Amino acid sequence: MADALPNIILMNCDDLGYGDLGCYGSTLNRTPALDRLASEGVRLADFYMASPVCSPSRGAMMTGCYPPRIGFGEFEGRGVLFPGQGVGLNPDEITLATLLRRRGYATSHIGKWHCGDQVPFLPTRHGFDEYFGIPFSNDMGRSFHFERAGRPQPPPLPLLRGEEVVQEQPEQASLTERYVEEAVRFIRANRRRPFFLYFAHMHVHRPQIVSRRFLEQSRNGAYGGAVECIDWSVAVLMAELGRLGLDSNTLVIFTSDNGSKGLDGGSNAPLRGAKATTWEGGLRVPCIARWPGVIPAGGYCREIASAIDFLPTLAGIAGAETPRDRRLDGLDLLPILREPGARSPRREFFYYQRNKLAAVRLERWKLHLPTGELYDLQEDIAESTDVAAAHPDVVVRLRARAEACREDLGDDLTGVVGRNCRPIGRVADPKPLTQYNPDHPYMVALYDGTVG
């Protein structure tokens, strides 16, 4: 049966907004490969990451848990992980990659990890046979931004192969091309066995350092160039799957780690808010799934779904058993992917901002807890009209769901400590992966561009 297991490619972008793709309404960015992916699969309209910022959303996606469940709400008082921190994804957590590897999958992670840069936290310690990429955000290296702001320079940006730094301060304009080459190599090497490729793009996080081809053809500046570079990468991988005859037995999923910042050409339209907020624009992101013969082409799904659902969904597809010794928050989404009109097992979703429970959604309704504002997301996707006064019974129901969530996962807003949270991973004496050496022949001494 191992030969019948589908290959899985999960592509995750950095800060790509809900309105940044043609198939999600963009008229600025050219995304023909992604538009085709959507036309040949299903486009999810109500898909959420578990956090409006990157480290928590990525840890949640890998483990099938809300961030506070795995100690990923905060990182020693910071919203995301920084180079050299002594915390990260606990080695005791079981990731999607670990489950698939147990089923005989070859596993590779290419690109941004951002779940901890100390050795026990790296991808190779969390189920991936191979890793090639930058273990955190592309703005966390030496740059003119820090010099202009009079702030201390971080260590040089590390590019890792496995657990070894193979380059410091790599040229970012060519990095996506290197990632694609690595992905093609992995697919070719494992074409006769099931494989899982987690491809996490550098783009469109700032600084947007884009190769000349995409910059010159963009109608939306560097941001649009970054989006079109992502689209090019999708075209290459899909062409390779076709060339190798793997197209019909490969599930491809495309999404983003959180919403756009809404700057420099990024868009979350028609949603309200942006990255780092718990308005829809912070956590609701594009998600496309394509699997010929299983997922009907041209689908459009308005059911609630989340990245924390990937682990049980993909584990189920691969016949892998999910952990029974711990609580998970994910649900199996395969029915809504393969059956148009099917109802999602996910009826509710909780919006966390760090360790604060900021909002709860139950079916069509969303309640912002600090303000008491209620929105009907079925009729008002932009969260423009508060209808709490007209639906007091709905407010009561959602507050009850929030209270149950607080008891389970905790809430810094109300001071409730969750009963079922696990600790973040910790190491003693953490060190950055690199140290600045003025005599080192860096390819790029200082990155330029807008850092965010």
Please state, in angstroms and rounded to a whole number, the distance separating the CA atoms of residues 7 and 191. Answer: 9
Is the CB of residue 29 less than 8 Å from the CB of residue 228? yes
The active-site residue, picked from 13, 109, 114, 126, is 114
Q: How far apart are the first and last CA of the chain?
A: 47
R_g of the chain, CA atoms, integer Å = 21
The active-site residue, picked from 13, 54, 229, 301, is 54
Please state, in angstroms and rounded to a whole number, the distance separating the CA atoms of residues 376 and 362. Answer: 10
Q: Which two tokens stand for residue 293?
A: 């013969």
- Find the farthest-apart pair of alpha carbons in the chain and give their distance in angstroms, rounded: 68
Q: Which of 233, 234, 331 is nearest to 290 (CA)?
A: 234
Number of helices (H), then strands (E), in the chain: 11, 16
Q: Which two tokens stand for residue 397?
A: 């129901």
Active-site annotation holds for 145? no
Is the CB of residue 340 less than 8 Å from the CB of residue 83? no
Please state, in angstroms and rounded to a whole number, the distance separating the CA atoms of residues 442 and 73. Answer: 35
**Which residue, chain included where needed, has tokens 């199996």?**
332
Active-site annotation holds for 114? yes
Is the CB of residue 70 less than 8 Å from the CB of residue 90? yes
Tell me 385's DSSP state.
-
Is the CB of residue 33 less than 8 Å from the CB of residue 289? no
Please state, in angstroms and rounded to a whole number, the distance separating the CA atoms of residues 79 and 55. Answer: 8
Is the CB of residue 244 less than 8 Å from the CB of residue 250? no
User: Any idea which residues carry the catalytic annotation?
Assistant: 54, 114
